[in-house]
Amino acid sequence: MADEYGFKPRYPPTAPLASTDPAFHIKCEHTSVRSRHCPQCYPSWPPPPGGSSYPPPYYPPPPSGIPSYPPSHQYPPSPPSRPHYPPSYSPPRHKCPICQSVLHGGPGSNCRQCHAVGVGYPTAPSGVQPPRGGTKAYYWVDTFARGSVPSTALHGGHDVDGEEIFVGRAFHEGDWIPAKVIPGRNVAYVAYAGGEHAKDHYQVLCEQRFDWIPSSGGHIPPGAVEGGRTSDGETLYIGRAHHDGSLTIGKIHPSHGVCYIPFGGREIGHHNYEILVLRS
């Protein structure tokens, strides 16, 4: 509250002058300062405005959520050490069946050494693996529909419209069956159970070290190329026959004594045919 001259008193109000205050010259028993500064000796002073005190008896605690300094908690643990390089585990290495070099892209990838395309055998649904040739004179390349055939693919014949036919094989109903591959139509056909069946995943025979020799009645000459196998374990061989102006690839079934070709949606048997053999 201002005085008659407009001046406001300091807060807390100053004690009486030393000439009129006998306690000015007396030390307080509660503190080491003069008694006029002791709140116990002068409890009659009015409280400060707003409930605050001057000077404040203590500093207020920090707001919640603000960590104290130094922090009472421990620092987070250091991240785990990184694995050393090279790692101790090495993945299995797949090799090219032709030149035995390591396939950097895994099974089904291209070989960098002998340039074989898509070497490797696909896993059949029944777990039956395709038969493997006992010599490195040829190899099979995995191919999909709408994919080009390798430059070393074996040309085996022609269709009625002049489309080229290449030698292949495909998995069907538990059998690996020799197939006629027609790249111009992006499909391969196999003969099975009296019908012609289209396949979009097949293998193409590569290299050119073969000869076609006449045969009949299921006769299998020495050096005949194994092209497939039935689910019962009987070996199927690669043959071809002339039919309605075409030279079509088919399967030679020794126990049946014929060469079956897929043609016009049917499985057609021929007693006279040509069989594929390795060139001597």
The pLDDT, as a whole number, for residue 149 is: 87
Q: Mean pLDDT of all residues in the chain?
A: 74
Structural domain contains residue 131:
no
Structural domain contains residue 31:
no
In this structure, the answer to whether residues 103 and 187 fall within a common structural domain is no
136 vs 168, residue with greater confidence: 168
CA dist., res. 25 & res. 15, Å (int): 12
Domain span holding position 99: 91-117
CA dist., res. 178 & res. 176, Å (int): 7
Q: How many domains does the chain have?
A: 2
Quick one: 34 exposed, middle or buried, by C-beta within 10 A (0-12, 13-18, 19+)? middle
Give the DSSP per-residue string, 59-120. Answer: PPPPPTTPPPSS-SSPPPPPPPPPPPSS-S--PPPPB-TTT--B-TT-TTSPPTTT--SS-S
* Residue 139 clears pLDDT 90, i.e. is over it: no
Structural domain contains residue 8:
no
In this structure, the answer to whether residues 199 and 229 fall within a common structural domain is yes
In this structure, the answer to whether residues 191 and 267 fall within a common structural domain is yes
In this structure, the answer to whether residues 227 and 100 fall within a common structural domain is no
Structural domain contains residue 68:
no
Greatest mean pLDDT range, 45-54, 67-76, 141-150, 245-254:
245-254
**Structural tokens at position 105:** 């892209």
Phi then psi dihedrals of residue 206, to 5 deg: -120, 165
* Residue 4 clears pLDDT 80, i.e. is over it: no
Residue range 221-233, pLDDT digits in tens: 999 999 999 989 8
The answer to whether 249 and 240 have CB atoms below 8 angstroms apart is yes
In this structure, the answer to whether residues 263 and 143 fall within a common structural domain is yes
The answer to whether 254 and 237 have CB atoms below 8 angstroms apart is yes
* Residue 134 clears pLDDT 50, i.e. is over it: no
pLDDT average, residue stretch 24-52: 55
* Residue 122 clears pLDDT 50, i.e. is over it: no
pLDDT average, residue stretch 262-269: 95
pLDDT average, residue stretch 70-80: 62
Residue carrying the six token digits 């529909």: 145
Structural domain contains residue 128:
no
Q: Report the Cα–Cα distance between both ends of the chain, in Å, rounded.
A: 127
Reduced to 3 states (helix: H, G, I; strand: E, B; else coil), residue 149 is: coil
In this structure, the answer to whether residues 170 and 252 fall within a common structural domain is yes
Per-residue pLDDT band for 42 (boundaries 50, 70, 90) equals low
Residue carrying the six token digits 């022609």: 158
Structural domain contains residue 97:
yes
CA dist., res. 102 & res. 111, Å (int): 8
In this structure, the answer to whether residues 104 and 144 fall within a common structural domain is no
CB atoms within 10 A of CB 269: 16
In this structure, the answer to whether residues 200 and 111 fall within a common structural domain is no
Domain ends where: 50, 82, 117? Answer: 117
The pLDDT, as a whole number, for residue 187 is: 93
Q: What percent of the chain has pLDDT over 70?
A: 52
Structural domain contains residue 173:
yes
Per-residue pLDDT band for 19 (boundaries 50, 70, 90) equals very low
Q: What percent of the chain has pLDDT over 90?
A: 41
In this structure, the answer to whether residues 100 and 192 fall within a common structural domain is no
In this structure, the answer to whether residues 226 and 107 fall within a common structural domain is no
CA dist., res. 20 & res. 39, Å (int): 19
Q: CA 218, 224, 226, 228 torsion: positive or negative?
A: negative
In this structure, the answer to whether residues 108 and 192 fall within a common structural domain is no
Q: pTM value?
A: 0.55
In this structure, the answer to whether residues 236 and 153 fall within a common structural domain is yes
Per-residue pLDDT band for 256 (boundaries 50, 70, 90) equals very high
Nearest-10 Cα torsion for 166, 188, 129, 175: -110
The pLDDT, as a whole number, for residue 279 is: 87
Structural domain contains residue 134:
no
CB atoms within 10 A of CB 152: 16
208 vs 158, residue with greater confidence: 158
